[in-house]
Structure 1
Amino acid sequence: MLPDQEQLPLLAALVRHCRTNPARLHVPAHRQGRAVPAALTDLAEKNIFRFDLTELPGLDDLHHPQGAIAAAQQLAAALYGAGRTFFLVNGTTCGLQALLLALCRPGEEILLPRNVHRSVLGGLVLSGARPVYLPPVVIKDFGLAAGVREDTLAAALARHPRARGYLAVYPTYYGLAPDLTGPAAVLHRLDKPLLVDEAHGAHLPFHPALPPPALAQGADASVQSVHKLGGSLTQSSWLHLGGARPDPARVAAALRLLQTSSPSYILLASLDAARRQLALDGRRLLERALTLARDLRRELARIPGLAVLDEEHLAGAGAAAARLDPTRVVISVHGLGLTGYQAARLLAEKHRVMVEMADYRHLVAVTGLGTTAEDCRALVRALREISRRDAAADRSRSVCPGPPDAPPVRLTPRQAWFAPARPVPLEQAAGLVAAETVAVYPPGIPALCPGEEITPEIIEYLSIVRRHGLPVQGPADGTLQTLRVVS
């Protein structure tokens, strides 16, 4: 029987969600229009569908900009101190993949922290590069990955002198912002570039209380999700180049290959409008967001069973976790005997409070450009109630361990991606080569990547993930009963 084509399941779900009017402590930063740039509000009031256009005379061409788009990109570059800025309508994912495709040829090595976002895997498959993963420092008491130590990077470069460069994560999903000046100096002495996944850092240049942006610390390229904390529409990002590394012409060519040939002018216009708002009003908007975050931290720290990540927790990590972005409020609920997933579900279902993400141990709330004081008060009230009513009687819940050290790389991700593959039971996969990614999501840090050997430690870890029912992305079998391996 054919389904009823009068249904609108996705639109209906969006309408239902908006009707509940939840507290919103998540991205995008504009908070459903509350802090959307004024220019976009004007567009919407004039019927935004009028501006859903294509490459017409006078509107320029994203893939060969010479007019309005070129001028908008130049303004963004000037604001961020970049040599050149590219607008992206396929998200930061596209920008990161373009950098890898521009820099690396098949078989060439690239240094990466293990906590790179899963989008980087696509860049490795497309470029054929061979990843060399470096272990990040872990923040004691919270178990969160920060940056890679400078001496770790220097030693890796000595072992892999032909590596093309290093891709850093700055700041992390948890707001940890390692020092980049040391790694930049190490790389530049060897004439190698520092690339930065700065997805969560579009707001950093606009308030002195925030960590310094990547370009200001010597990064050669960075990609920022402007929609996350900059006020543009979801899926819009930009890529900054500091100079001639990697080759701007190759980056532009990679973007022409990867980006849609039908870019949304509404997304492009939202980048232009967000740039102006940040330039003219960013300091005021961020001052308000930082005040809300400071007050929120203080109130949450008073609730029994909660611990809130603060800069005092970074002392033991040194330059690998030099600063914390205060707009990211990381809350450990371990002392309540709950997982972060359970706490997030209680917040959403019982209290109509939506946070940015949860992992096994933490919640992450974001105070962005449009966050309200009532959003923050709602989160405090809800967590106070959860602490009082829903905390587990037995608070000795064991912590799900983080992924073990990266296993040996037997094939490049590209080789594994294209190799014949078959499913095998998880318990029988030891010694075989993975043909797929497995990452607990969020935060999306891979436990296993295509081309890596499946070790007994990986099997033990994934068995725990399966037992706890944690959400995973990447594997064909989301239950983790089987893994796909190279035949």
Structure 2
Amino acid sequence: MATCSPGEFLILPRNSHISAISAMVLSGARPKYIIPQYDFEWDIAGGVTSSQVEQAVKELEMEGQRAAAVFITSPTYHGICSNLTEISQLCHSHGIPLIVDEAHGAHLGFHPQLPSSALQQGADLAVQSTHKVLCSLTQSSMLHMSGNMVDSERICRCLQTLQSTSPSYLLLASLDAARSQLSENPDTIFNRAMELAFEAKYWIKEIPGISVLDLARFSNFPAIDPLRLTIGFWQLGLSGYEADEFLCRDHGIVCELVGNRSITFAINLGTCRDDIQRLIFGIEHLVGITAPIDGEKGYGEFNVYTPFADIKMSLIPRDAFFASKKKVGIGGSLGKVCGELICPYPPGIPVMIPGEVITEKALEYLLDVRSKGAVITGASDTSLSSIVVCNV
């Protein structure tokens, strides 16, 4: 809202968080989507490259349009970081502000082996969910601003529109406490967490039948957050949901994110060596009762498409949100214009967005992940027997 007026274009990756879609409903911005790099074996989306942003800018210019802002998620939930230095330089050369969803990166820049923060790389606005990695209370977050490309007074007006006039001083105090904790020893506070993260990855990589995500899978990007640990179980013939259920039920281990073929853990200031040892023991126990599958792909056939690769937008999110709607059976929804935001959660990345034409691949993907244990959010019918569509 502080950068895009109704009808103006916002360049953003298609795997942006649902909050970005809600922001387009409020602002009336028109999305210009970038399809992120996708690793099909892991079933994980990566970041966005500067060449992709440049291509999106040029495509709009060829249509006689201009982007009002560029919105990038970095790091992703899995810790994959885009090259924000290149992207910010590109944006600024076109007079376009760069907004970064840095929800999972409030700790970046506070250790020599951590990637640089969004502001350090030239972003104009960076939104951080301070509670995700640092020690503030859940729901508390910060909006950081740098430079003068974005109107600070307009930001204040937008905040007045969206925020409560009775803020929680518990949340505000927790943000100040998190800031104070960092300021006391900013160069060494993550030493212990980094040590535990490297230790965990070293030992887990040694376990037969287990895969650990590393930057080699996303070589087009400069860094992956070393405090994110993503583990694949498909060589054991298990989905991420099945592995997560076992670790939680038998060892009391709760992951940060469960996916179709992997689970992700966040190592932070509260993590101790006992936590790491319990995780290693739990995985070893799982491997011990589930022999690796030799000579096969393991768990299922991995997807050969992204769930949002063949999108076709019929209405912008705001128009679709306010359009008249009806509920139809899932079999009759194909080719209709989606009227609700549907996504597996976590991580909260929509597979269907209001205004997009419903495709067979998107339906297949949703039904597949739901059958394997994913929680479907946003849909009025979480069983996906029916879908809300727009009357257009």
Query: Normalised by the shorter chain, which TM-score bucket?
Result: over 0.9
Quote the residue 1:277 is aligned against.
181
AA of the residue aligned to 2:270: G
Q: TM-score, normalised by structure 1?
A: 0.76
CA shift for structure 1 position 275: 0.7
AA of the residue aligned to 1:331: I
Q: TM-score, normalised by structure 2?
A: 0.93
Distance across 1 between alignment mates of 2:318 and 2:345: 22
Equivalent residue in structure 2 for 1:450, among 338, 354, 376: 354
SS at match of 2:67: coil
Distance across 2 between alignment mates of 1:415 and 1:442: 26
Structure 2 regions of 5+ residues with no counterpart?
A: none
Quote the residue 1:386 is aligned against.
286
Quote the residue 1:233 is aligned against.
137
Quote the residue 2:54 is aligned against.
154
CA shift for structure 1 position 399: 4.2
Matches within 5 A, 1:94-133: 101-133=1-33
Distance across 2 between alignment mates of 1:467 and 1:166: 35
Quote the residue 1:403 is aligned against.
307
Matches within 5 A, 1:350-429: 350-390=250-290, 396-399=298-301, 401=303, 402-429=306-333
**Residue 90 of structure 2 is aligned to residue 186 of structure 1:** yes
AA of the residue aligned to 1:396: G
CA shift for structure 1 position 336: 1.4
CA shift for structure 1 position 314: 3.0
- Cα 1:103–1:404 shift into 2, 3 Å: closer
CA shift for structure 1 position 458: 2.3
**Residue 166 of structure 2 is aligned to residue 262 of structure 1:** yes
Quote the residue 2:382 is aligned against.
478
For the pair shown, the structure with the greater C-alpha radius of gyration is 1
CA shift for structure 1 position 462: 3.0
Equivalent residue in structure 1 for 2:234, among 316, 334, 338: 334
Quote the residue 2:192 is aligned against.
288
Distance across 1 between alignment mates of 2:270 and 2:373: 34
Distance across 1 between alignment mates of 2:249 and 2:356: 39
Distance across 2 between alignment mates of 1:442 and 1:170: 17
Distance across 1 between alignment mates of 2:118 and 2:175: 19
CA shift for structure 1 position 138: 2.2
Structure 1 regions of 5+ residues with no counterpart?
A: 1-100
Q: Deviations over 1:142-165 (max 9, x none)?
A: 342122222221111111131211
SS at match of 2:254: strand
Distance across 1 between alignment mates of 2:12 and 2:48: 9
Quote the residue 1:324 is aligned against.
224
CA shift for structure 1 position 140: 6.4
Matches within 5 A, 1:4-153: 101-139=1-39, 141-153=41-53
- Cα 1:472–1:391 shift into 2, 3 Å: farther
Contact 1:220 1:242 in 2 (8 A): yes
AA of the residue aligned to 1:380: I
Distance across 1 between alignment mates of 2:359 and 2:224: 34
Contact 1:404 1:461 in 2 (8 A): no
Contact 1:421 1:435 in 2 (8 A): yes
Decide which structure has greater helix share: 1
SS at match of 2:351: strand
SS at match of 1:165: strand
AA of the residue aligned to 1:455: T
Distance across 2 between alignment mates of 1:360 and 1:312: 20
Equivalent residue in structure 2 for 1:434, among 328, 338, 342: 338
**Residue 205 of structure 2 is aligned to residue 301 of structure 1:** yes
- Cα 1:236–1:197 shift into 2, 3 Å: same
Distance across 2 between alignment mates of 1:200 and 1:272: 18
Identity of aligned residues (%): 39
Contact 2:237 2:292 in 1 (8 A): yes
Higher relative contact order (CA 8 A, sep 6+): 1
Distance across 2 between alignment mates of 1:404 and 1:149: 18
Quote the residue 1:197 is aligned against.
101
Q: Deviations over 1:456-477 (max 9, x none)?
A: 3323333433444532111101
Distance across 2 between alignment mates of 1:206 and 1:195: 21
Q: Deviations over 1:25-64 (max 9, x none)?
A: xxxxxxxxxxxxxxxxxxxxxxxxxxxxxxxxxxxxxxxx
Deviates further, 475-484 or 465-474: 465-474
